[in-house]
Amino acid sequence: MAEELFDHVEGAAGDGLARLLNAIANASIQIRIEMPHLMGFSDGSNKYGEQILKLDEWTNKFLCDTLVETGLVRRIYSEELNAPVEGIPDAPYVVCIDPLDGSSNVKTNNTCGTIVGVYEKEVGKGSEQVAALYKLYGPVTTVTYSVGKGVHEFIKQRKGEVKFVLSKENMRLPEKAGVYGVGGKREEWPPKLREFVDSLEGRGMKLRYSGTLVADFNQVLHYGGLFAYPKAKLRLAYEAKPLAFLAKEAGGKASNGFKDILEVEDDVDARTPLFLGNGKLIEEIEKLK
């Protein structure tokens, strides 16, 4: 029988993280049920000045409640909240969430996802995460996680009980880079980076850009290559650090253009340039100046 998510995480990291990651995975069921009913904007905006969708608001609240209910979470930092949610004092984990990544794609019915980084005690450097995962609400729901022992993908079974079963174990970025996606406007990129991006097709890579970070990273994880957002738009703690943790565990790298994202120390709400993917490409980008 195919291995289930809880057992896989428990075998690698014990009961606590297994219960936590399993609860986050299972929350997808309700999130997908609500999706068609919560189109349109709410009345609020987040700390980045972005208008919040009804679905952003609902997903954030539902995920925060789910995390607190596990009894395992001391504090939750969310991209959508001005202040952290206090969970259970002395509980083992502190969690950073991007509840609905790529929510501008909700309007056009393209894929969006959820990103989670888990720490013990308090948020620290990305290298101090004890787990990271992302979920993709695509044609099927997937959960891709790491507890520092490789990267593994689970897929939600289509029928019957709530079950996420192993679809890919010990994922590695393919050595031959197949795809690239670079966000923002070319005029915002340093000239040498523009030249570098222009050279990628000559090296056999194809453009793939969806506008949802996790969906674009997921393509890089499967096909090899590069995701970049050179302007400091993406969020360090909620987006960059968890994906950097996964990239490294899959044999790749993540950088802000100068330094390994996993070693960057900055405010929990900081934004960062992000370059993610095959190690050789990221090293070339770091040398461009």
Instruction: List residues binding ligand F6P (CB under 6 A).
Output: 101-102, 104, 183-184, 211-213, 229, 234
Cα(144)–Cα(289) distance, integer angstroms:
34
DSSP assignment letter at 113: E
Q: How many residues does the chain have?
A: 289
Please state, in angstroms and rounded to a whole number, the distance separating the CA atoms of residues 137 and 160.
18
By beta-carbon proximity to ligand F6P, the closer residue of 78 and 212 is 212
Q: Which two tokens stand for residue 136?
A: 């993709």
Name which of 123 and 200 has its Cβ closer to Mn ion.
Answer: 123
Q: How far is the CB of 219 from ligand F6P (least distance, A)?
A: 12
Phi, psi of 21 (to 5 degrees): -65, -35
Please state the closest distance from residue 164 (CB atom) to ligand F6P, in A: 22
Residue nearest to Mn ion (CB): 101
**Separation CA 230–CA 178 (nearest Å):** 20
- Least distance between ligand F6P and beta carbon 56 (Å): 10
Cβ nearer to ligand F6P, comparing 147 with 234: 234
What is each CA distance from 147 to 116, 117, 138, 239, 258, in whole angstroms? 12, 10, 23, 17, 26
Question: Smallest distance, Å, CB 87 to ligand F6P?
Answer: 24
Q: Does 98 bind Mn ion (CB under 5 A)?
A: yes
Partner touching 92 among ligand F6P, Mn ion, none, CB below 5 to 8 Å by kind: none
Contact between 101 and Mn ion by CB under 5 A: the answer reads yes
